[in-house]
Each structure stands twice: as C-alpha cells, then as structure tokens.
Amino acid sequence: MNSINDRSRYIGEFVPAADDDMLICRCEEITKGEIRKAVHDGMFTLTEIRRYLRTGMGLCQGQTCAKLVKGIVARELGVSPAELEPVTSRAPMRPTEMKVLGKEVKEEE
Amino acid sequence: METRIEEHPILGKQETGRLVTFYHDGKALQGYEGEPIAAALKAAGVMVHRYTKKEHKPRGIFCAIGRCTDCVMIVDGKPNVRTCVTPLKEGMKVQTQYGVSAEPEK
Amino acid sequence: MKRYDLIIVGAGPSGLSAGIEAAKKGLKVVVFDENAKPGGQLFKQIHKFFGSKEHKAKIRGFRIGEELLQEANDAGVEVVLNATVTGMYQDKEIIVRISDEMHHYKGDAIIIATGASENMVTFPGWTLPGVIGAGAAQTMMNLHGVKPGNKILMLGSGNVGLVVSFQLMQCGCDVVALVDAAPKVGGYGVHAAKVARTGVPFYLSHTIVKAEGEDHVTGVTIAEVDEKFQFIPGTEKHFDVDTICLAVGLSPMSQLLKMAGCVMEDNPKKGGQVPICDEYGETSIPGVFVAGDVSGIEEASSAMIEGRIAGVAAAKYLGYMDETELKGKVTELEHALESLRQGMFAPKNRGKAIEETEEGIAISKNLLKHGFVADDEIERFPGVTHKAGIHPVMECTQNIPCNPCQDACPKHCIKIGEKITSLPAVDESVDCIGCGMCVASCSGQAIFLVDETYEEGYATVTLPYEFLPLPEKGEKGTALDRSGKEVCEAEIVDIKTSKAFDKTNLLTMKVPADMVMKARFYKRA
C-alpha cells in the first residue's frame, strides 16, 4: 500500500466550507461536508468512507456518486484521485431483492 | 406544450403501442403500453416521482436507463420500482414514493 | 450450471461485434444484456457517423445498430435480454438475474463489454427533477419519442453535449445555451458549428451556479470562472429553463472486472478505472477479455472494432483458430482502429493544446471559444475556395478521422488522400455539377454549395437541413451567419430530398451576393 494509508500523516484540521451542505450521494443523502469531516475523523480509504457514511451503499450502489466521493476524499487528503483505491466491487451489481437473490436456478448442462 | 414528438426529421413517425389508462396517485392518465412508466409520466407532465427519506426533497428522471434509481416509485403496491425501465401496463397503479412509503411523512 | 464457449456481457456495439466474430468461428456464444433491447447506446445515435467506409461512415448510428443486430442473428449469436449480470467470480463463473430468478453460467472465455456510465457534476439544485443526464435526454427523445423538456440548458461542450444539443433542437426543443467550465470547446468543431449557426450561444469558461425551482427546475444561473474554476463575481447570467442537461464525460463501467480480480489501473486518458489489457483486449486473467468503453472511453465506431478483435482473440484462446489466422484477422482490424485514433481528438492527444492542423494552418480560435469559425479565419482552410458558378465550400477546419466527402463526389473534385484526418481540399480543375452528394455525405454538416454568380447581385447557398417542418420553395425567411446572427433576407429557391441523402435535406437559399460567405443557416419567418 502507499502513503494514503499512513494514519500518522497530518492532513490538517477540518475547515468548514461554503458548499459543505452540497448533496453528493443522492441515494443516501450524504453531503460534501459529511464526507470531508469523515476524512478528518480518520477515514482515509473509500471503503472506510463507505462503511462510515453509507455513501454509495444505497439503491444505485454508487453509480452516480463514486467518482464525486473519490474526488472529495482525494482533495482532502491532498493526493490525486488516481491514487485512491476504489471501493470493493461485489455482487449484486444492480439492486436485487433478497427474495430474488435467494431464488437460484439449477440449469441443466 | 406538447411533449410527445409527433414526427421526427430523422426517425419519422414514432411507433407506439396501444393507448392505455393507468393511475398516478389515483388520477387516471393515458400512455402507450410497453413504453417506460417514466416516459408516460413525462408526457403527461409529471416531474416529481418521489420525495427522499431524509430531506424530503423531490426527485425525478435523472439517468433514464435504470442506473441511478432516482425515478423509483410505488408501482402496484411495490416500492423502489425503477420507472424508467419498467414497461407500462394497462390499469397500473403508480404512486409517488415518500421515503419508501406511499404516505407522506407527518 | 450451464456452460458456454463464450459469454459476453453487454449487447452494445462492442459486445455484439465480438459475438459475431466468435460465432462465425463456431463458438457457442451467449450475450447477456440488462436492457429490454439490444444495441446499447447505438439506437439513440441518430446522427451520421464519422470515419471512412470501413467504419460505416455517413451511416446513422441506429442504422448501424440494425445492421449489427442482423449480422448477429445471421451468425447465430444468442442474445438474452432483461438479463442482468450481477456478479463475476473465479473460474469465469457469472450470476445473472433473469426475471425474478438468479442463474449461474460458466464461460470458457468471457468478454466484458459493459460500456460506460455518465459522470455528473454537483451544484445547488442538482437533484431537482429537470436536471438530467445527456444520455437520459437521448433516451427520452430518440427511443421513447418524448421531449425531455422545452427550454434546455446544456452543460458540456464535448461531442456528447454538442450532438445531444443538436438532437434536442431536431425534436423541437429550445436550447438556450451551451455551457462549459473549460476555456475551449471539447468536441469536434463541426459539431459545435452546426449548433452555433442555429443561434445557440456558447458560454465557455462558465459553469452552473445553481438550478432554481421548488419541485422542479424553473431556471438556472451560470457565471464565468477563472483559470482555477472559481466563479468571477458579477458575471452571473440567468436563464428561464425547465431542463438542465449534463454532458460532462463518461467513466468505464468496470466493476465486474475488478470483482473478478483483474489487475486494474486508474487511467485518466481512458476515463477512469480500466483493466490492464493487451492489444487483443485480454486482461490479466487469461480468457477474460474486454472491448469498448469499459476498456477506455472512445466511441461506438472504435468499440465495434475492439469487439471484433476480442471476438477473434477469444476464438484463438479456445483453439478455434491458430496464431496465423488470428494475426491475419487482427492486422486488418487494428489498421481500421488505428486510423480512427488519428488526428487532433485522438486519445493520445487528450489534454494537449493543439495550435495548428497537420497542414500547418492555425486552428480557428473563435471555433474553440464560441463554437464557430470567424469570418476572418475561414478563408485560410483548403476546403474554402472561390470560383464562378456552383462549387463546394468545405468548412472542415480540424483533423478528424473522416472522409466520406471524398467518395461522395461523382466528379472527384474533393481530395482528402490516404490520411483520413487530412482536411478536404478542392480540385479546382474539375467542374462541380451541384449534385449535393458531398453536402449530404458530410457527417459534420460542414459542406455548403455556393454559387457566387447566381444572378445579378445575388448568390445562392445550399445547406444541409435536418429539421421539421421543411421550408417551402419560394418562401422568404432570414439567413443566419455562422454565429447564428440574422444577417439578411433569404429566399428558398430549391429543396432537394433524396433517398441517397438519408434524411439530410438540401436547402438552397438566395441571398445578396455579399452574404455568400456569411449566410450559413436558414430561419423560417
């Protein structure tokens, strides 16, 4: 891993900004300010942010906000967005009801 | 103002399904069978599909291809139905979604 | 678990092309697509494509889609629709949601052709109904026959923003402004020019301050930004609109590949997270291939070629062809792909400031800043010449991979040459017969026929026209210049429509002789 995961790195204090109330994750209704604060709370990776705030955990599974969140976190950490590891990809890639997920079909060879 | 494109300079006259009646929050509207519910609503001038759970803010069509899930509504009693990719059927009951419920929160 | 030789995820241009090539070699192929109809985004593309004959240039996107579907059918490719691949695991196993059940499939090879998703930008009010993606606008108007709005502001001057703006006008919407935070138009100059001359103002170095409205969009405020993209106070402009359309780029939809464990990279030139792959599209997992936008954002023409390459490579991987046959097939395809990746807009030139054309001619600054070539810039391009009688004026001023005009002229008076990105030039020794084939063949709608000596004091300009209703012969209206400004009265003296023109009508308008190099669009009274 790289320096992003170095938790002893000082990234400065959280400084409130005028656009902190801008909605970023449309599904879970998480604002830019909440994401920025989370970084200062010690959430340095996108996976941590996701678990901490639920960004990208709503119905659309981050289709819309993933890139936006990445940009905000990178800026707060002072790194390029390309350096941040994207969140884990896992099934189901699209909203799927539990009753459907549980209904597996055994196909003939 | 007319929102249906009657004749298009490149695509010509639009092929449509059968004109059917469906219900939006109890009000009878008409749309073409098989077109996405969202297209029928848009043609009827309906912009708001739902109000969000936390902030109670209005949402409507955003991506129109089933990715963003902003256009979800309650369809025949089932919440979170992506109206932009769900075909319209005769007699469908489409309701504005508040959070995940059909009732506005008090 | 059902097994296939080859599983393809995504029935868009690249997925179908891959399926065709593999099925032709005898592989048992299945293509899964989450949509109700195949073709991906091709059926929303109603403009004529660029490129050369081998890339199906000057054919409209949806027609290419129809041809591709037919070819896939003929080749015996099985396409399963409403089938969402929700996961991809080790050993090339996938799970697919089909209606309300989950199915497991295993492929001996897999091609991921899932395409891209739209990027978004935030501003106060961006969640209001009426703020939509450009793709949503295309879907609503070109697939479902419903206007996305009436008064629309477009954010984004890349090809998507430009093409969709034009399409919005074609279906009867009013585009009030085209806005981009960048200081220069991002897409093809010819796409910008055809939007600008209808009167749409371009606001470069501007972006959205806020969307206004309670329950839906009723207006928008934009403002100028400085080099650091900060708003400059006092530059705000307000527009009454009901729709704001966002066309700010695409990102590869590569999550399935990451999930399967392919080695990924974040490559800004390719639009984001992409798998690392070789020239055949094979990822770090042997037998897992990629094609199309998921491996790097380009356009449909290159996606189709990448698909074919991945298709034959998969056939080779499974032993359905040998190395020699693979090399033979791929060489030709790669040549076609390489020719599309030339010119100013080539992926390798992304982010570079290009000052002059390959011919050494200074690029029109006005085109980049305002969307149209200025009167004092146009004469320096080789397609712009003067002579007595009717002749073509080709306002093609950037090196883009496109050459149908060269083949369109039955008298061979248009020359591009071997390099398809070269600017078209006129062979003045050959007489133009005024047939208009070049006008209709130009995907950029950048060719006009002018007759500077039509009659005493008057000239004619023949222009491509793809709007309804068509003007009538003899009717009088207003001529607009390249910027969309009204410049003089114009009388329609001829209207040509022909099957060969493929819905591009040719309007001939009579204008005062001194307006012949200015008048470029016709506005009905």
Q: What is the mean pLDDT of residues A94-99?
A: 90
- When CB atoms are compared, the residue of B48, B64, B87 closest to C139 is B64
pLDDT at C83 over 80: yes
* Element housing C200 (H / E): none
Residue B66 Cα, gap to closest chain C Cα (Å): 9
Q: Identify the closest residue of chain B to C37 by CA–CA distance.
A: B85
Model confidence over C248-279: pLDDT tens digits?
A: 999 999 999 999 999 999 998 999 999 999 99
Residue B1 confidence class, pLDDT cut points 50, 70, 90 = low
Confirm if B48 and B59 have CB atoms less than 8 A apart: yes
Residue A93 Cα, gap to closest chain C Cα (Å): 5
pLDDT at C47 over 50: yes
Q: What is the DSSP letter of C383?
A: T
DSSP string, A9-32: S--------TTTT-EEETTTTEEH
- When CB atoms are compared, the residue of B52, B53, B68 closest to A60 is B68
Token pair listed for C510: 């009579």
CATH number at residue B64: 3.10.20.440
Model confidence over C459-490: pLDDT tens digits?
A: 999 999 999 999 999 999 999 999 999 999 99
Q: What is the mean pLDDT of residues C171-190?
A: 97
| Strand C101-112, strand C288-290: pairing | parallel
Sign of CA dihedral B62, B64, B65, B69: positive
* C283 shares its domain with C149: no
pLDDT of C255: 95
Q: What is the mean pLDDT of residues C326-355?
A: 92
| Domain span at C256 | 2-117+250-340
pLDDT at B14 over 50: yes
CA distances to A12, C37, C140 from C113, in Å: 43, 15, 24
Report d(CA C284, CA C91) in Å as an integer. 13
Indicate the fold that domain A23-108 takes in CATH: Arc Repressor Mutant, subunit A (1.10.10)
Q: Pick the last residue of a domain from C213, C246, C279.
A: C246
Q: What percent of chain C has pLDDT over 90?
A: 97
Q: What is the DSSP letter of C264?
A: E
pLDDT at A50 over 90: yes
B7 touching C (Cβ < 8 Å): yes
> Which residues on A lie below 8 Å from B73 (Cβ)?
none
Other Cβ atoms closer than 10 A to C493:
16
* C94 shares its domain with C133: no
Report d(CA B4, CA B43) in Å as an integer. 6
Q: What is the DSSP letter of C470?
A: P
> Which residues on B lie below 8 Å from A23 (Cβ)?
55
Could you tell me the residue ranges of all domains in chain A? 23-108
Confirm if C423 and C400 have CB atoms less than 8 A apart: no
Q: What is the DSSP letter of C433?
A: -
Q: What is the mean pLDDT of residues B56-73?
A: 96
Token pair listed for C378: 């146009």
> Which residues on C lie below 8 Å from A101 (Cβ)?
102
Q: Identify the closest residue of chain C to A103 by CA–CA distance.
A: C101
Residue A7 Cα, gap to closest chain B Cα (Å): 32
* C111 shares its domain with C135: no
Starting at the edge strand found earlier in the chain, the sheet holding C131-133 runs C131-133, C243-246, C151-155, C174-180, C202-204
Q: Identify the closest residue of chain C to A24 by CA–CA distance.
A: C122
B16 touching C (Cβ < 8 Å): yes
Closest by CA to C142, choosing from C118, C163, C121, is C163
Q: What is the mean pLDDT of residues C423-436?
A: 93
CA distances to C138, C267, C270 from C264, in Å: 31, 9, 12
pLDDT of C347: 87
Residue C372 within any structural domain of the chain: no
Residue A108 confidence class, pLDDT cut points 50, 70, 90 = low
* Element housing C423 (H / E): none
Report d(CA C400, CA C346) in Å as an integer. 8
Report d(CA C521, CA C462) in Å as an integer. 9
User: Are the Cβ atoms of B69 and A27 closer than 8 angstroms?
Assistant: yes
Residue B71 Cα, gap to closest chain C Cα (Å): 9
Where does residue A70 rank: exposed (0-12), middle (13-18), buried (19+ CB within 10 A)?
A: buried
Residue C345 within any structural domain of the chain: no
Confirm if B104 and B52 have CB atoms less than 8 A apart: no
* Element housing C108 (H / E): strand C101-112
Residue C285 within any structural domain of the chain: yes
Give the helix ranges, DSSP H, for C344-400: 365-370, 375-378
Note the Cα C15 to chain centre separation in Å: 19
* C263 shares its domain with C317: yes
Contacts of C335 (CB under 8 A, 6+ apart): none
* C232 shares its domain with C258: no
Residue C453 confidence class, pLDDT cut points 50, 70, 90 = very high
Confirm if C109 and C21 have CB atoms less than 8 A apart: no
Q: Which residues in chain A (70-99) have CB-CB distances under 8 A to chain C? A: 81-83, 86, 89-94, 96, 99
Token pair listed for C295: 């491996």
> Which residues on B lie below 8 Å from C11 (Cβ)?
none
* C218 shares its domain with C331: no
Residue C252 Cα, gap to closest chain A Cα (Å): 11
pLDDT at A1 over 60: no
* C126 shares its domain with C168: yes
pLDDT at A109 over 60: no
Report d(CA A76, CA C514) in Å as an integer. 58
pLDDT of A8: 83
Model confidence over C206-220: pLDDT tens digits?
A: 999 999 999 999 999
Report d(CA C464, CA C473) in Å as an integer. 15
* C256 shares its domain with C111: yes
Report d(CA C29, CA C20) in Å as an integer. 9
How many structural domains compose chain B?
1
* C395 shares its domain with C506: yes
- The whole model's pTM is what? 0.97
pLDDT of C401: 96
- When CB atoms are compared, the residue of C102, C120, C267 closest to A105 is C102
DSSP string, chain B: ---B-SEETTTEEPP---EEEEEETTEEEEEETTSBHHHHHHHTT----EE-TTT--EE--SSSSSSS-TTEEEETTEEEEETTSSB--TT-EEE-EETTBSSPP-
Confirm if C448 and C521 have CB atoms less than 8 A apart: no
User: Are the Cβ atoms of B7 and C129 closer than 8 angstroms?
Assistant: no
Residue C193 within any structural domain of the chain: yes
Model confidence over C363-386: pLDDT tens digits?
A: 999 999 999 999 999 999 999 999
Q: What is the mean pLDDT of residues C336-361?
A: 92
Report d(CA B94, CA B82) in Å as an integer. 11
B28 touching C (Cβ < 8 Å): no
Chains that touch C (3 or more CB pairs under 8 A): A, B
Q: Which amino acid is at C424?
A: P
C342: three-class secondary structure by DSSP: coil
Residue B77 within any structural domain of the chain: yes
Confirm if C393 and C449 have CB atoms less than 8 A apart: yes
Token pair listed for C319: 């032993």
Residue A59 Cα, gap to closest chain B Cα (Å): 6
Give me chain C's average pLDDT, please: 96
Residue C364 within any structural domain of the chain: no
Residue C513 within any structural domain of the chain: yes
Q: Which amino acid is at B73?
A: M
Q: Identify the closest residue of chain B to C497 by CA–CA distance.
A: B9
pLDDT at C392 over 50: yes
Give me chain B's average pLDDT, please: 95
> Which residues on C lie below 8 Å from A91 (Cβ)?
86-87, 95, 259
User: Are the Cβ atoms of C145 and B8 closer than 8 angstroms?
Assistant: yes
CATH number at residue C159: 3.50.50.60
Chains that touch B (3 or more CB pairs under 8 A): A, C
Report d(CA C301, CA C471) in Å as an integer. 34
* C254 shares its domain with C105: yes
Chain C residues interacting with chain A (CB cutoff of 8 angstroms): 1-3, 34, 84-87, 95, 97, 100-105, 117, 119-120, 122-124, 126-127, 251, 255-256, 258-259, 264, 266-268, 272-273
Confirm if A47 and A78 have CB atoms less than 8 A apart: no
pLDDT of C250: 96
Contacts of A94 (CB under 8 A, 6+ apart): A61, B66, C34, C84, C86, C97
Token pair listed for C255: 């999550």
User: Are the Cβ atoms of C129 and B58 closer than 8 angstroms?
Assistant: yes
Residue B86 within any structural domain of the chain: yes
Confirm if C298 and C401 have CB atoms less than 8 A apart: no
How many structural domains compose chain C?
3
Q: Pick the last residue of a domain from C205, C230, C246.
A: C246
A56 touching B (Cβ < 8 Å): no
B1 touching C (Cβ < 8 Å): yes
Residue B74 within any structural domain of the chain: yes
Q: Which amino acid is at C183?
A: P
Q: Pick the last residue of a domain from C246, C275, C295.
A: C246
Model confidence over A8-47: pLDDT tens digits?
A: 888 999 999 999 999 999 999 999 999 999 999 999 999 9
pLDDT at C1 over 90: no
* C318 shares its domain with C421: no
